[in-house]
Structure 1
Amino acid sequence: MKRILIGLLGYSFVSQQMLAQTDSIASRHELKNVTVKATNGIKSKYRVDNAEIIGQGQLIRAACCNLGESFTANPSVDVSYSDAATGAKQIKLLGLSGTYVQMLTENIPNLRGASLPYSLGYVPGPWMQSIQVSKGASSVKNGYESTTGQINIEFLKPQGPDGVRANVYQDSELKTEVNLDGSIHLNDRLSTATLLHFENRQMDHDGNGDGFMDMPKLRQYNLMHRWAYVSPQWISQLMVRGLHDEREGGQSRKHLAASSSEPLYSTSVKTNRYEMQWKNGFTLNADHNTSIALMLHGSWHDADNMFGKTQYDVTQKNGYAQLMFETDITEKHNISVGASLNHDYYDERFNPLGTL
């Protein structure tokens, strides 16, 4: 409508000039065609929370990215370094740091506790199907840890197209990424998929010449295997994932004098993480969308950290279970009832002299 008004005003102005020069007035003025395109950032008017869906159209803008780098071109989320020496990043929603933001993977609480400092680098961009960002108070169905918002990550599904997809990336700093994913439909109901990710950056990067690396050296191996069974009454998804991540930062020897005998201040973070997730949904009455769901998730996270001469090792074991019942009361109202259990076990070892 705004564009049409501008066109009419322009026509009136031009007509006055034409009237001063000639005795004839143009009887018709045609506007150019207007093309309306949908964006990949979507907000649903049917949801009560302030949620935005980031689809693959926005995720593929960057040639290589992980979860943290995916928000570079999106103003919804602010990502900043909480520790530049180790490359730890944090998310800010509504001005508060990432400890107040609940991280979910396929609507199950995940990437929390000991894994939080580097969790944004544990999710490769090509693995993600979409990201849902909810600001402010969100649904309690996913737990109580959401203070300033939730970020839910949906991975590529085995039910997607058959075939194998691969991409390779390398930049001027010789950072290399290799991504490979493929899915197979074994029959009409059963399908499987495997996702692989390798990332390597081993060059010292010190742009300001202060002797400290601007970003840590990094090597990561990431593997996920998925199964999906879909029938009219039962939907089941099983996921197994393994991760090995190495980060080295601190001072760079090449910027120190060759005769210097001072010990380098270095940081080292070595992480092994394993996850298993099983989701089941049973349809009881399709006409009223009555269903019951059982979701199970377990993870084992082990990190060996060295900061100078200070050694800090931590192991976190987490188990999560949720049982949910949903049904439609009317065409515009539904009800959800359920219970969840979240159990954490931490084993922390600290020694300031690094003699563990």
Structure 2
Amino acid sequence: MQKIIVLLLAVTISYNTANAQAIDSTFQKDLNEIILQSTRTSRTIKNTPTRVETIDGEELDEKNNMRPANVSMLLHESTGLQVQQTSATSGNPSIRVQGLDGRYTQLLKDGYPNFGNFASGLSIMEIPPLDLKQVEIIKGPASTLYGGGAIAGVVNFISKMPKEKFEGDFILNQSHIGQSNLGGYISEKNKKFGYSILGSVNIQKAYDVDNDEFSEIPKSNNFTIHPGIFYYPNASLTLMLSNSYTKGTNIGGDMHAIKGTPDPTHTYFEKNSTIRNTSTFELDKKFKNNTSIKLKQSLSVFDRHISIPDYNFSGISTNSFTDLSVVFSTQKHTMIGGLNIIFDKFKQENTNTQNTRSFTAGTYFQDTWDISDKVKIESGIRIDNVSYKNINYDKNQTFVLPRVSSLFKITDKISSRIGGGLGYKIPTVFTEQTEAMQYQHVLPLNNVDAEKSIGGTADINYRTNIYEDLSFSLNQLFFYTSINNPLILQSDNFGTYSFSNAAKHTISKGFETNLKFVFKDDLKLFVGYTYTNAKATYLPANQFLPLLPKHKLNLTMMYEKEDNFKLGLEGYFTDHQYLYNGYKTPSFWEFGFMAQKTFSKVSIFINFENFTDQRQSKYKSVANPPHDNPTFDDIWNHTEGFVVNGGIKIKL
């Protein structure tokens, strides 16, 4: 294994922009002015004790070439992150951080948590990247500011804000597997008013690469419109109101059924129809004494219908989020305190079997203490009172969540961040496993407790110039998370499924290594390696978590002449994985290449994704007989294989 890695390091090169930013920006002049929003203290990366990885606008623009419809590609190629496809027919994915199930990672859009529970399986499929300014990733517990669900970490998608100068971005993309994308974003700030508008249309034809008459990619269409207005009465006050509306449909399964020509043998399909509407309001007031007040309010409604032959599951998920915070600073302290109220309700249509409701009231306080130029400590505590109920039971729990992180600037070339804290996740029937089953035969929760966690991360950063034109950066991260009372799905002799709390822990531990070489700012080489040892200690035999590779290697090289052209070559190694049935999968490599040429405000791009055609059906068919009522294997590899896409981008 080591010899293979060494050999491929010599001949295969890639570039992963997300992890390039993970290397401590204390030593990167181009990152010193990036202001983090996820920490809510308006600090730059180099002065923030919490470890935050960022994917900025330039890197987002590159990943937009590969998958303009949604953000799945830019997360898939990040060290320590795994985009896990949960359904062979619908293509729904889930984000896993450091090996843990997707429900333990909180997805945010501009700090608003509107993507959980029933919506989680489709969330990253409905976030277009065109209007994003940056993506911020916190790995490990982030409970002080974000409360429940942030056990494994937080992924915060940050939107662009209007500027004094008009900004316009447009993209047209087409792939050889039948995907068409058209998107546009415009914004401008004019004296006391500003606006932004995002529009996106994505169409995908059903695609059957192995000719087994089942789709590897479902037929789908998706439309998003997201306008926002901004009002600036004076230099110290900003008001924002926006509304995002997304409507989508996808249908996968038997190609005859998808095309509307079923017969007694070709009948199986899975259809997902969704409507998501999210309204947000934000007030930001700054005072002269380094104090500011921010009020955030959102209301999200997610309507989803799942249909397969002789079965339907549908419902409406409603989420209300309110957060009032105050930030105030002294010479050596930046403090934030706030109140947070979250209401979440799921109402199943035609029956009340899975109806659930939760109400969370929380208060939090965090202090960032600049002890000196070389030592900074960030400590915080959050207290949440949560009530949740369904048709079987009603429970109230209070959680006290301390958290601490520190930054040590050891020398001009070496720094370190260490942090840890507690977390929790209230029970839900909406998990990766039940998503793959379309929630069939799943019993309502009955007297189960919230999952609780303790975890932490520690890293060390080093940067130096090897030669005058060659710089080298290293980030070495270690992580550990233990989850108590993990919620597990079990089946009985009657074919029904129910959740219960396991008596022992789920533990995830390991490390990430990120290396970056830059030659004359034009040639960049990135190497990222993730080792994850995650176990379900409650299992008697094979305790490895399913669909989790122990070893992952990311390799990328990018050669770029700014405002002229860029070329990128990438390769990824994925180690063996265990499926839910205990089967051990083969390991595999995948490779990609992209090119872009810029002519003033117009860019033309082409992307060859997975050009060695790595896919699961080369090992075994994903669909199992009988043809009219199939079962599907767990997804551990690509389903669609090689994809070539290209298009045009216009920046105004």
Q: Which category of TM-score, normalised to the shorter sequence, fits these structures? A: 0.7 to 0.9
Give the 3-state SS of the residue equivalent to 1:144 in structure 2: coil
> Equivalents in 2 of 1:259, 1:326: separation in Å?
61
Alignment-derived partner of residue 346 in structure 2:
346
Alignment-derived partner of residue 294 in structure 1:
295
> Equivalents in 1 of 2:77, 2:59: separation in Å?
8
> Equivalents in 1 of 2:266, 2:182: separation in Å?
35
> Equivalents in 1 of 2:319, 2:262: separation in Å?
49
Asked whether the 8 Å contact 2:103–2:149 carries over to 1, the reply is: no
Give the 3-state SS of the residue equivalent to 2:62 in structure 1: coil
Cα offset for 1:194? 0.9
User: Structure 1 stretches of 5 or more lacking a match?
Assistant: 1-35
What is the aligned counterpart of 2:286 among 276, 279, 283?
A: 283
> Equivalents in 1 of 2:165, 2:139: separation in Å?
32
Summarize the alignment of residues 24-173 of structure 1 with structure 2, pairs less than 5 Å apart: 38=30, 44-62=45-63, 63=65, 64-65=67-68, 66-138=70-142, 140-159=144-163, 161-173=165-177
> Equivalents in 1 of 2:80, 2:229: separation in Å?
32
> Equivalents in 1 of 2:123, 2:336: separation in Å?
30
Alignment-derived partner of residue 251 in structure 1:
254
Cα offset for 1:82? 1.2
The letter for the 2-side match of 1:69 is M
CA RMSD of aligned residues (A): 2.6
The letter for the 2-side match of 1:127 is D
Distance 1:254 1:220, change over 3 A: closer
Alignment-derived partner of residue 245 in structure 2:
242
> Equivalents in 2 of 1:141, 1:252: separation in Å?
46
Distance 1:296 1:345, change over 3 A: same
Give the 3-state SS of the residue equivalent to 2:45 in structure 1: coil
> Equivalents in 2 of 1:259, 1:152: separation in Å?
43
Distance 1:337 1:350, change over 3 A: same
> Equivalents in 1 of 2:173, 2:262: separation in Å?
38
Give the 3-state SS of the residue equivalent to 2:124 in structure 1: helix
Cα offset for 1:47? 2.1
Q: Which has the higher contact order (CA 8 A, sep 6+)?
A: 2
What is the aligned counterpart of 1:183 among 180, 187, 195?
A: 187
Cα offset for 1:76? 4.1
Cα offset for 1:139? 5.1
Distance 1:166 1:262, change over 3 A: same
Distance 1:37 1:321, change over 3 A: closer
> Equivalents in 2 of 1:113, 1:246: separation in Å?
19
Asked whether the 8 Å contact 2:301–2:318 carries over to 1, the reply is: yes
| Greater gyration radius | 1
> Equivalents in 2 of 1:331, 1:310: separation in Å?
63
Asked whether the 8 Å contact 1:50–1:134 carries over to 2, the reply is: yes
Give the 3-state SS of the residue equivalent to 1:83 in structure 2: coil
Distance 1:254 1:224, change over 3 A: closer
Q: Is 2:272 aligned against 1:265?
A: no
Alignment-derived partner of residue 24 in structure 1:
none
Cα offset for 1:144? 2.7
Asked whether the 8 Å contact 2:306–2:313 carries over to 1, the reply is: yes
The letter for the 2-side match of 1:209 is N
> Equivalents in 2 of 1:45, 1:76: separation in Å?
21
Give the 3-state SS of the residue equivalent to 1:302 in structure 2: strand
- The Cα offsets for residues 235-254 of structure 1, whole Å up to 9 and x where unpaired, read as 11111111101010011129
Alignment-derived partner of residue 217 in structure 1:
219
> Equivalents in 2 of 1:243, 1:278: separation in Å?
18
Asked whether the 8 Å contact 1:312–1:350 carries over to 2, the reply is: no
Compute the TM-score of the two structures, normalised by the length of structure 2: 0.45
Give the 3-state SS of the residue equivalent to 1:61 in structure 2: helix
- The Cα offsets for residues 87-138 of structure 1, whole Å up to 9 and x where unpaired, read as 1101110110210001111112221122110101111121211100000012
The letter for the 1-side match of 2:333 is H
> Equivalents in 2 of 1:233, 1:128: separation in Å?
24
User: Structure 2 stretches of 5 or more lacking a match?
Assistant: 1-27, 35-43, 352-439, 442-652
> Equivalents in 1 of 2:332, 2:214: separation in Å?
58
Aligned residues: 311
Structure with greater strand percent: 2
